[in-house]
Amino acid sequence: MTYDIKKVAIIGTGIMGSGIAQLFAQAHFSTVLYDAQQGSAQLAKDKLSQTFEKLCVKNKISETQCQTAIQHLSVANALAELSDCDLIIEAIVENLTVKQQLFQELESLVSPQTILASNTSSLSITSIAAKCAQPERVAGLHFFNPVPLMKVAEVIGGLKTAPNIVQQLKLLTEKLGHRAVIAKDTPGFIINHAGRAYGTEALKILNENVSTIEDIDRILRDGAGFKMGPFELLDLTGLDVSHPVMESIYHQYYEEPRYKPNPLTRQMLEAGTLGRKTQQGFYTYPAQEKESIDSTVSVHISANFPTIWIGADFLKDRQILEKYLTDLNIAINAAEIPNPKSLCILAFYGEDTTHACLRYATDPAKSVAIDMLYDFTQHRTLMPSLLTSSESTEAAHAIFSADQTSLTIIQESVGFVAQRVLAMIINLGCDIAQQQIASVDDINDAVRLGLGYPLGPIAWGDHLGAEKILLILQRISTITFDPRYRPSPWLQRRVALNLPLTFSPA
């Protein structure tokens, strides 16, 4: 069947429906608005017209573009008025029965060629289509809020969706100027699925008392390169939105430990501390002036440690550390076994300092670990053991902040903070690829555009070193016995065969 999409209807003109309508009207599709709530569609049309006028005043669009976009908007007062539409997108209440009923009713009104799409974020497309006479014409077209700015949409085919419909929706989405990624009908599709690792692992780290909310955010933002720390992000989204998504994906995947939510966010949700919208979440709003701690002033490189001994899993990390120390005129003890007077700096992956001290046979009192996974020049994380003396910690602190690079000291954590979070994100991306939920390119682009990460998860794995990511997960799995860290077969095979993580057989 061929489809020529010219006239589009948007049902449900709330936040999402209005945003989707804006895209279509701007791309010169005849766009009909319908909402069950009387007056809502007209209100949405009026607001959109104002939006176009504002964009014109700001020179983002021309006067002609503004007028053309407005002319392409119209309002329907009854579903029957949508009978000649080529595509109908619903953005109504997130309720399976209501969506099923709407699609059944639409089928009795529209032509057999009309494509029916749902903007659902959490319901199965297959389930929505299950009550339809022609489930092959039902697909997911999932935009993100705010629609005009979030330049990505997931196109989802249910079990019975015709592949041609998925392709048509992909082409159409690209005409709107958005990147279309194709996802299998699975819980969370790509973006809400891939987004589970960041907040979930950060909450687990907080729960283990590894560090403070501020410091976990700082490590991941300033060190690992996220735009926002996980707790800043949870506060922005609001726990009323994000906690139910965490629970829903966890249950929809039959209690898969990778997605296990944290009791803390349920409790905060019940207490009404949702984030920015309630002025209280992980932080208090409006933000209070943060005390700036100048870590370089009060600590001095200790004369009690004439040399530094380095234990490193990877030669490159050793070289970076040696160069840094040499530039500071600090003597390095290159002996295989540390001199009893040396301060031992351990650069390892997927362990805590205690386990690393045993492996390197160093004195825990004189051992301090450093996370070398992320850019050493941006930020540093140090991790003493339970027995590390304050003198050793202070010396390491002074050394690694001597060039004014910001630094955070954390309590023991199997795999530091950034290693754990990044390895979980990359491993989840690999699992999504392994399950063929989407292609590698689509996973990477969906996550970059939809979640705002600097790189897609699979590309990020290659950038940091897949071998390191696998080592982190293997060691954490061995030490913690927690199945959430088990490495994806996708990751294991590619590391074993020395292939990039982006490799897919032709």
Please tell me which residue in 18, 119, 192, 444 is annotated as part of the active site.
Answer: 192
Residue closer to ligand NAI by CB (options 119, 354) is 119
Find, among 366, 364, 374, the residue nearest to 406 by Cα.
Answer: 374
237 binds ligand NAI (CB under 6 A): no
Distance of alpha carbon 467 from alpha carbon 409, whole angstroms: 26
Residue 72 CA to residue 49 CA, distance in Å, equals: 10
The span of 11-19, 60-68, 257-265, 285-293 binding ligand NAI (CB under 6 A) equals: 11-19
CB of 146 to ligand NAI, least distance (A): 9
Residues numbered 46-65 forming contacts with ligand NAI, rule: CB under 6 A: none
**199-211: burial string, b at 16+ Cβ within 10 Å, e else:** bbbbbbbbeeebb
SS3 state at 165: helix
Instruction: Give the residue with the Cβ less far from ligand NAI, 35 or 107.
Output: 35
Residue 63 is among the residues annotated as catalytic for this protein: no
How far is 267 from 206, CA to CA, in rounded Å? Answer: 15
**Binding flags for ligand NAI, 23-42, as an x/- string (CB under 6 A):** ------------xxx--x--
Is 214 one of the catalytic residues?
no
CB nearer to ligand NAI: pick between 14 and 465: 14
Between CA 491 and CA 502 the distance in angstroms is 10
Cβ-closest position to ligand NAI: 14
Residue 142 appears among annotated catalytic residues: yes
For 158, the 3-state DSSP assignment is coil
Token code pair at residue 94: 């997130």
**Of 10, 75, 91, 440, which lies in the binding site for ligand NAI, with binding defined by CB under 6 A?**
91
Taking contact as CB under 6 A, which single stretch among the options 92-100, 205-213, 395-403, 404-412 is the one that binds ligand NAI?
92-100
Identify whether 463 is a catalytic site residue: no
Full DSSP string of 181-216: EEEES-TTTTHHHHTHHHHHHHHHHHHTTSS-HHHH
Spot the catalytic one: 107, 154, 201, 232.
Answer: 154
Burial 335-344 (b: 16+ CB within 10 A, else e): eeebeeebbb
Angstrom distance (rounded) from CA 212 to CA 192? 26
Closer residue to ligand NAI, CB minimum distance, 142 or 494? 142
Contacts for 251-255: CB closer than 8 Å, 24+ residues apart: 252/187, 252/188, 253/187
Residues 331-390 that bind ligand NAI (CB under 6 A): none
104 binds ligand NAI (CB under 6 A): no
Q: Where are the alpha helices (DSSP H) in 361-465?
A: 390-400, 418-434, 440-451, 457-464
Q: Using the minimum distance from each CB to ligand NAI, give the nearer residue, 191 or 325.
A: 191
- Which segment (119-127, 225-233, 310-318, 446-454) binds ligand NAI by CB under 6 A? 119-127
Determine which residue in the list 15, 133, 159, 337 makes contact with ligand NAI, applying CB under 6 A: 15
From the list 8-16, 420-428, 437-445, 447-455, the region that binds ligand NAI by CB under 6 A is: 8-16
Whether the CB-CB separation of 307 and 333 falls below 8 Å is answered with: yes
Q: Does residue number 176 form part of the binding site for ligand NAI (CB under 6 A)?
A: no
77 interacts with ligand NAI by CB under 6 A:
no
Determine which residue in the list 102, 203, 421, 458 makes contact with ligand NAI, applying CB under 6 A: 102
- Among positions 135-154, residues that touch ligand NAI (CB under 6 A) are 144-145
What residues numbered 210-229 form the site for ligand NAI, per CB under 6 A? none
Which CB sits closer to ligand NAI, 104 or 279?
104
CB of 18 to ligand NAI, least distance (A): 8
As a whole number of angstroms, the distance between CA 404 and CA 172 comes to: 50
Q: How many residues bind ligand NAI (CB under 6 A)?
A: 22
Closest distance of CB 145 from ligand NAI, Å = 3
CA-to-CA distance for 153 and 120, rounded, in angstroms?
A: 12
Pick the stretch among 94-102, 204-212, 249-257, 458-466 that binds ligand NAI (CB under 6 A): 94-102
**370, containing H or E segment:** strand 367-370
The whole-angstrom separation of Cα 419 and Cα 374 is 8
Q: Binding segment for ligand NAI among 117-125, 174-182, 309-317, 335-343 (CB under 6 A)?
A: 117-125
> Is the CA virtual torsion 415, 417, 421, 422 positive or negative?
negative
Report how far residue 470's alpha carbon sits from residue 500's, in angstroms, rounded to the nearest whole number. Answer: 13
Closer Cβ to ligand NAI, 34 or 348, answer by number: 34
| Active site positions, annotated | 121, 142, 154, 192
Q: Which residues bind ligand NAI (CB under 6 A)?
A: 11-17, 35-37, 40, 91-94, 98, 102, 119-121, 144-145
